Amino acid sequence: MIVVHVDLNKKEYQAMSIPRDTRVHLEGYGYTKLTSVQYIKQATEGRQQGIDAAIQSVSELTGIPINYYVETNYQGLQGAVDALDGIEMNVPFDVKFTHPWYAENKNKVITKGIYEADGKLVTELVHERYSLKNGEYDRQRLQEEALVGMAKKALDPSNVTKLPAFVKQIPNFLIATNMTTPDMLSLGLAVKDFNPAQLQYHQLAGEWKTMRDDILKNNNDQLIIDEEKMKQLVTQYFMN
């Protein structure tokens, strides 16, 4: 999950990744991984309840009020990139596809560099973690690079006239959102002069521990976030 804060007055954009295995508390269940919150609520109460629970967990964890949300999946991401006719994506380190979506990519290595990437390649890159030196944290970096590449392409001045048509296609790539089409178009036009240098990306520090999962009823690896460091980061970049 990625939390994004947009300051249109200062033209500053903050993005913070929250690992899916972050330990959180879910009322009525106890402690579990963030990734399990939406799953269990969706399975027991319904789709929207799962989304609401995930948003609430992120807000309670970070202290950040969440105004808008967008949910997609790997197929949606692939479709969005292809709708942009591909993106330029920086791959900051070598990536070996150990668990690819497409069998023909098994053990394929993408070396460090800049790529003209289609949706299929982007989807494989943001999914991989097992071959990466820093696991989940390096996967977050790849996801950041994908989002930057998409923003650069969609908000390129030469593509601004195409933005309304692209925004109309977005529902084809989303599972859920509370943003209306006018919301998306207004935001896109407001940041049409987006420069990647204006984006600051943050990762949450923490410690991996084997902990009891009250939903899965077993012990598993969970990330215990350093609350003091997170509070400093949130206060400085996400609450103004």
List per-residue pLDDT tens for the chain, 240 residues long: 999 999 999 999 999 999 999 999 999 999 999 999 999 999 999 999 999 999 999 999 999 999 999 999 999 999 999 999 999 999 999 999 999 999 999 999 999 999 999 999 999 999 999 999 999 999 999 999 999 999 999 888 888 788 888 888 888 888 999 999 899 889 988 988 888 889 999 999 999 999 999 999 999 999 999 999 999 999 999 997
Do residues 108 and 55 share a domain?
Answer: no
Do residues 56 and 109 share a domain?
Answer: no
Residues forming beta bridges with residue 3, ordered by sequence position: 16
Can you give the length of the chain in residues? Answer: 240
Do residues 59 and 93 share a domain?
Answer: no
Residue 22 gets which letter from DSSP?
A: B
Beta strands in 181-239 (DSSP E): 199-203, 206-213, 218-225
The boundaries of the domain holding residue 240 are 1-69+178-240
Residue 198, domain CATH: 3.30.420.590
Residue 118, domain CATH: 3.40.630.190
pTM: 0.89
Whether 91 and 142 have beta carbons less than 8 Å apart is answered as yes
Residue among 89, 76, 91 at smallest CA distance from 138: 91
Do residues 10 and 78 share a domain?
Answer: no
Number of domains in the chain: 2
* Residues 95, 96, 100: CA angle, nearest 5 degrees: 115
Do residues 115 and 33 share a domain?
Answer: no
- What is d(CA 160, CA 189) in angstroms, rounded to the nearest whole number? 8
Do residues 63 and 153 share a domain?
Answer: no
Do residues 4 and 88 share a domain?
Answer: no
